[in-house]
Chains A and B, each alone.
Chain A
Amino acid sequence: MGNAIAIAKKELNIYFATPIAYVMFMLFVVIGSYFFLRLLGAYELASLQYMRFNAPEMANRLNFQDSIFRNLFGNLGVILIFIVPFLTMRLIAEEKRQKTIELLYTTPITSGSIVWGKYLAALVILFCTLLLTITYPVLIQIVARDQNGVEWRSVLLGYAGLFLMGAAYMALGLFISACTESQVVAALITFVLLLMTWIIGWSAQEAEGWVRELVTYLATVSHLDSFSRGTLELKDVVYFLSIITLGLFATHRAVEAHRWS
């Protein structure tokens, strides 16, 4: 475990010594803020209209969770598909290309520590990225004061869902990075893979019966959405955790295989 932390510290050192981390933070916040402002504008418009048409029962049903955060988390999830490949592409591919992986192979650390360390660093970056966007609910809380304020429990659950989804994406990205020496190839394949897990949900609309259920289960979008609605269900947690386990296991195998080649 100590070795894994040493690797993670080294990875974070490199993330923050190069522009990668900062550029990703900025992209995520810029695009996230754009979505947030759009949703906020729509909310404002809806509440104005309800007031003008004197529909208090509609106005009462209006809440931040359903009209802003649920959509916002969905949008942030899409942005993750675009930024995760760029965060994970270098993790192992770069070590192979620079031959620094030989250093890791000749020091007394296991492949498991290498994989864990790299993954931990990726999770820290993911956590920081998401943390930056917590300004949105905080802003709403400040402006809205206490009347129909932010449901923090639901918001935090939404963040937990986003984190789990990002963690699952990172595990897949890490695996792809372990399979190639080229960072560009790693990023491209990861991107296509992540996009597939998202858009596969669209075909659920045409399917029927068990196919429909299977496709819905496979799509990340449905699992993220149940978190951002503010519900915690075991099946969603299991879904993300199984992708993480699969990704890390496959990465470990890939690193071992590379050692033997």
Chain B
Amino acid sequence: MIEVSHLVKSYRDLKAVQDISFTVQKGEIFGFLGPNGAGKTTTMRILTGVMPPTSGTARVAGFDVFEQPMEVKRRIGYLPETPPLYPDMTVRAYLRFVAEIKGLAGPARTRDVERVAAQTNCTAYIERVIGNLSKGQRQRVGIAQALLGDPEVLILDEPTSGLDPAQQREVRDLIKGLAGKHTIILSTHILPEVQATCQKVLIISSGRIVANDTLEGLQRAHAGAVTADGQPGPAPSLEEIFLKLTSA
């Protein structure tokens, strides 16, 4: 569904992303990890067609993000790090606007707005002005916006930041429920969340891939020393693996 090969992005002297390649299968939830400044957001921005890569290619649903950006954008729902909300609009007006620029019209637009609002639990405050909402509520409006138009691919940059534990679980369940039908790239700093939702994990550090495997694969590869009685060592937590890989 998503194929990235030899992606490079540099800003003048700074190399934000250096030769990244990975593929995501249809219906997978793909965990995208790395310390702040590792190049996660840059990679996502390239995938969503915000900006072109310096070199390398990225294909989403068979379309090249550089050659056919419009086809790619029709198939992607994106939640950036900062939810792109207009504080002066009501939630409903905002969602209707996003639906409209995603090409939905008439009753289909109204239906889809209702659907995503219900899915993300925004219905209770749909008539309120976004500027007056709490951070958690805004985050959910941001997720609702990404779901509009039922895109095949969802790219979520830290979807649970700013949410309380109950809301985090809610969003986690929502994302799990979307798997299978949607292909999801999930960037997050909350490692238990990755353990709970993702099938595959990609860890990048300083613009390079340091791990790209399933969770079990990672744990097996980084398992402790074999104990005296021949049993494999204790499986390390994702946190230990993450710290080990990114501190180097």
How many Å lie between the Cα of A135 and that of B28 in the bound state?
Answer: 64
B102 touching A10, Cβ below 8 Å? no
Q: How far is the CA of A105 from the CA of B47 in the complex (A)?
A: 12
Q: Is A205 close to B, CB under 8 A?
A: no
Q: B50, B73, B86, B145: which contacts A98 (Cβ < 8 A)?
A: B86
Size class of the contact patch on chain A:
20 to 34
A99–B80 touching, CB < 8 Å: yes
Majority secondary structure, B binding face: loop
Residues of chain A lying within 8 A (CB to CB) of residue B51: 259-261
Is A120 part of the contact surface with B, judged by Cβ < 8 Å?
no
| Binary flags per residue of B80-109, CB closer than 8 Å to A gives 1, else 0 | 101011111100010001101111010000
Contact with A along B42-66 (1 / 0, CB 8 A): 0001001111100000000000000
**Residues of chain B within 8 A of A147, CB atoms compared:** none
Chain B residues whose C-beta falls within 8 Å of the C-beta of A7 in the assembled complex: 101
**Is the CB–CB distance between B101 and A109 below 8 Å?**
yes
In the complex, the answer to whether A106 meets B82 with C-beta atoms within 8 Å is no
Q: Give the residue name and chain of the A residue nearest to B129 (CB).
A: A17
Contact (Cβ within 8 A) A106 B89: no
Note all chain A residues with C-beta closer than 8 A to B48.
Answer: 105-106
The docked-state distance in angstroms from the alpha carbon of A105 to that of B70 is 10
A13 interface residue per 8 A CB criterion: yes
> In the bound complex, do residue B49 and residue A105 qualify as a contact, i.e. CB atoms below 8 Å apart?
yes
Beta-carbon contact of B145 and A6 below 8 Å? no
The residue from A100, A105, A260 contacting B86, defined by CB atoms under 8 A apart: A100
A98–B130 Cα distance when bound, in Å, is 13
**B78 on the interface (CB 8 Å rule)?**
yes
1/0 per residue, CB under 8 A from B, across A200-222: the answer is: 00000000000000000000000
| CB-defined contacts of A103 to chain B, threshold 8 Å | 80, 84, 98, 145
Give Cα A6–Cα B93 distance, bound, in whole angstroms: 11
Q: Which of B76, B84, B87 contacts A102 (CB 8 A)?
A: B84
Flag if A10 contacts B86 (CB, 8 Å).
Answer: yes
How far does the alpha carbon of A216 sit from the alpha carbon of B89 in the complex, in Å?
A: 44
With both beta carbons as reference points, the residue of chain A lying nearest to B77 in the complex is identified as A106
Decide: B88 and A17 in contact? CB cutoff 8 A.
yes
* Contacting residues, chain B, for A6 (C-beta < 8 A): 97, 100-101
A99–B82 Cα gap in the complex (Å)? Answer: 7
B74 at the A interface (CB under 8 A): yes
Do the beta carbons of B93 and A13 come within 8 Å of each other?
yes
Q: Is the CB of B73 within 8 A of A18?
A: no
**Among A10, A100, A109, A259, contact of B50 (Cβ-Cβ < 8 Å):** A259
- Given the complex, which residues of B lie within 8 Å of A105, measured CB to CB? 48-50
From residue B117, how far is it (CB to closest CB) to chain A in Å? 17
A3 is an interface residue with CB less than 8 A from chain B: yes
Is there a chain B Cβ closer than 8 Å to A253's Cβ?
no
Among A9, A100, A106, which residue has its beta carbon within 8 angstroms of that of B76?
A106
In Å, the complex CA distance between A102 and B49 comes to: 10
Q: Which partner residue on chain A sits nearest B87 by CB separation?
A: A98
Residue A14, interface by CB 8 Å: yes
A109 and B73 alpha carbons, distance in the complex (Å): 9
Q: Which of A101-118 contact B (CB under 8 A)?
A: 101-109
A7 CA / B70 CA spacing, docked (Å): 17
Q: How far is the CB of A219 from chain B (nearest CB, A)?
A: 37
> Taking the nearest CB of chain B, how far is it from the CB of A104, in angstroms?
7
Q: Of all chain B residues, which has the CB nearest A258?
A: B51
A3-B101, A107-B101, A107-B102 given; A100·B85 CB < 8 A: yes
User: Given the interface contacts A10-B89, A100-B84, does A108 sit within 8 Å of B50 by beta carbon?
Assistant: no
* Nearest CB of chain B from residue A165's CB, rounded to whole Å: 29
Please judge, given known A-B contacts A6-B100, A103-B98, A105-B49, whether A14 and B86 are in contact too, CB under 8 Å. yes
- Mask of A2-31 contacts with B, CB within 8 angstroms, 1/0: 110011011001100110000000000000
Q: Which residues of B are at the interface with A, using a C-beta cutoff of 8 A?
A: 45, 48-52, 70, 73-74, 76, 78, 80, 82, 84-89, 93, 97-98, 100-103, 105, 129, 145
Listed A/B pairs (26) with beta-carbon separation below 8 Å: A2-B100, A2-B105, A3-B101, A6-B97, A10-B86, A13-B88, A13-B97, A14-B86, A14-B89, A17-B88, A98-B87, A100-B84, A100-B85, A100-B86, A101-B84, A102-B80, A103-B80, A105-B48, A106-B48, A106-B50, A106-B80, A108-B73, A108-B74, A108-B103, A109-B101, A259-B51
